[in-house]
Amino acid sequence: DTGVSQDPRHKITKRGQNVTFRCDPISEHNRLYWYRQTLGQGPEFLTYFQNEAQLEKSRLLSDRFSAERPKGSFSTLEIQRTEQGDSAMYLCASSFSSGRYNEQFFGPGTRLTVL
């Protein structure tokens, strides 16, 4: 399978703990996006990488959130001091930049539950 993969698929944690998620994009894709999807809502953009550079962050990405893509391949999203409001599905997508439009391919998501 050469699609976008995410690990873990599910994570349950206690409030105040730190969690880290991993995303492995499609191998030739240079762009990687993180989105968050809460119950009853569509996915909302969090941040974006082109190769290893983090080029954009949304206002949703508080200072407790940090994302990296150290070698321009896989990416990690860390949430420090988790809060119950962080409970959501975290989606990763990747694309290959080509002109103005680039189709984004989504992974299955990591579902985070903060107790």
Partner 1 sequence: AQSVTQLDSQVPVFEEAPVELRCNYSSSVSVYLFWYVQYPNQGLQLLLKYLSGSTLVESINGFEAEFNKSQTSFHLRKPSVHISDTAEYFCAGLNYGGSQGNLIFGKGTKLSVKP
In the complex, the residues that contact partner 1 under the rule CB under 8 A are: 4, 31, 33, 35, 40-45, 48, 50, 55-56, 58, 91, 93, 100-109
Distance spanning both ends of the chain, measured CA to CA: 33
Comparing CB distances to partner 1, the nearer of 18 and 53 is 53
Beta strands across the sheet bearing 65-68: 5-7, 19-24, 75-79, 65-68
Comparing CB distances to partner 1, the nearer of 19 and 92 is 92
Determine the Cα–Cα distance for residues 41 and 21; give it in Å rounded to an integer: 21
Determine the Cα–Cα distance for residues 77 and 39; give it in Å rounded to an integer: 20
Comparing CB distances to partner 1, the nearer of 18 and 60 is 60
Task: Work out how close the CB of 63 gets to partner 1 at its nearest, in angstroms, rounded to a whole number.
Answer: 20
Handedness of CA 56, 36, 77, 85 (dihedral sign): positive
Candidates 77, 80, 84, 91; CA nearest to 37 is 91
Task: Work out how close the CB of 43 gets to partner 1 at its nearest, in angstroms, rounded to a whole number.
Answer: 5
Comparing CB distances to partner 1, the nearer of 56 and 83 is 56
Task: Work out how close the CB of 45 gets to partner 1 at its nearest, in angstroms, rounded to a whole number.
Answer: 4
Task: Work out how close the CB of 13 gets to partner 1 at its nearest, in angstroms, rounded to a whole number.
Answer: 20
